Amino acid sequence: MGIVEAILLTVITAATPLVLAAIGELVTERSGVLNLGVEGMMIMGAALAFAATQVTGSPYIGILAGIVCGALFSLLFGFLTLTLVANQVATGLALTILGLGISGQIGEPYVGMSGIKLQPIVIPVLADIPFIGPLLFRQDLIFYISIALIIGVHWFLFHSRAGLKLRAIGDSHGSAHALGIHVIRTRYLAVMFGGACAGLAGAQLSLVYTPQWVENMSAGRGWIALALVVFASWRPGRVLAGGYLFGAVSISQLHAQALGIGIPSQFLSALPYAATIVVLILISHNRRVTLINTPASLGKPFVPDR
């Protein structure tokens, strides 16, 4: 039981940044905007969160720095694609490359420096419940935020007027504009929310998952988060399930090596990305379900009538 508990704890830690980045991108895509810059926003959040924590000594300020950095970095994407109507795919790719470069410069003074780990929040009584207690009631703040975001986004999208407007924009921005809905403003807010979530996911990497700075430490998790949105069919609840599934695959390499299983480490390292490709192939076979759930205006530019 102790081994199972230890494995599940590492799965939770590995899955949390995927869930955070994916739920932010889900809201962005629900508004009709395709932001492929999740990886860049995530690594920027990781760099700024680690740097802010080292300077102030408080990981909570580091979390705030990661969120703000991700949101501000996403504004650059928003300005280029929503105001200047640049191509969303090309801009997102450029944002990722830019984020990887700038984060390397910001994090260079902190390479090899031991970080300050975000400590778990112990909920009295509940944390003492065998097996379940350590898994659910002795976790860090970012884990609880990720669960709250899943619940909050689900309520927002399917039980609020603002969420209905956002989904209407994603399905038909022209019709939404004709009804008087502020398409560009709503999309800016959705893009900033996605950036803030990606920045928070990056903060989790440098403050919880691996409390130190390593260049390119996001290691493709932003791309997995993008695939996770498609895997979840743009549904928040499925993002949580898919995030933990991908997290389990990601962490399996460490446990396989610890158990002495004779599988090459290079294959185990590539396993999460191979699983991503397999999942996308399986999803592509059911085109009807994909088309039904995909926002109709996803990736399409919108220029309001003057």
If we measure between CA atoms, which residue out of 27, 28, 73, 86 comes closest to residue 301? 86
Question: With contact defined as beta carbons under 8 Å apart, do 78 and 187 qualify?
Answer: yes
pLDDT of residue 304: 80
Question: With contact defined as beta carbons under 8 Å apart, do 37 and 71 qualify?
Answer: no
**Residue 298 within a domain:** no
Question: With contact defined as beta carbons under 8 Å apart, do 192 and 78 qualify?
Answer: yes
pLDDT at 202 over 80: yes
**Residue 249 within a domain:** yes
Please tell me what DSSP assigns to residue 298: T
Tokens at 261, concatenated = 């299983």
Tokens at 301, concatenated = 């530019």
**Residue 302 within a domain:** no
pLDDT of residue 110: 92
Q: How many CA atoms lie less than 13 Å away from 80 in the CB half-sphere?
A: 18
**Residue 138 within a domain:** yes
**Residue 229 within a domain:** yes
pLDDT band at 4 (very low <50, low <70, confident <90, very high): confident
pLDDT at 62 over 90: yes
Tokens at 55, concatenated = 């300077």
Tokens at 247, concatenated = 């997290």
pLDDT of residue 239: 93
pLDDT by residue (tens digit) across 207-220? 999 899 988 899 88
Q: Output the CA torsion 210→216→219→220 (10° steps).
A: 140
If we measure between CA atoms, which residue out of 82, 72, 102, 87 comes closest to residue 36? 87
**Residue 130 within a domain:** yes
pLDDT by residue (tens digit) across 242-254? 899 888 887 877 6
CA max distance for the chain = 66
pLDDT band at 128 (very low <50, low <70, confident <90, very high): confident
pLDDT by residue (tens digit) across 153-168? 999 999 999 999 999 9
CATH number at residue 219: 1.10.3470
pLDDT by residue (tens digit) across 253-277? 766 666 666 667 667 677 777 877 8
**Residue 300 within a domain:** no
Range of the domain at 192: 2-293
Which residue, chain included where needed, has tokens 């379940």? 132
Between CA 262 and CA 289 the distance in angstroms is 39
**Residue 304 within a domain:** no
Task: Determine the average pLDDT of the residues in 13-17.
Answer: 93
Number of domains in the chain: 1
pLDDT of residue 250: 78
Tokens at 120, concatenated = 């778990």
Taking the CB of residue 60, how many other CB atoms lie within 10 A of it? 13
Average pLDDT of the chain, as a whole number: 90
Task: Determine the average pLDDT of the residues in 266-295.
Answer: 74
pLDDT band at 113 (very low <50, low <70, confident <90, very high): confident
Question: With contact defined as beta carbons under 8 Å apart, do 93 and 40 qualify?
Answer: no
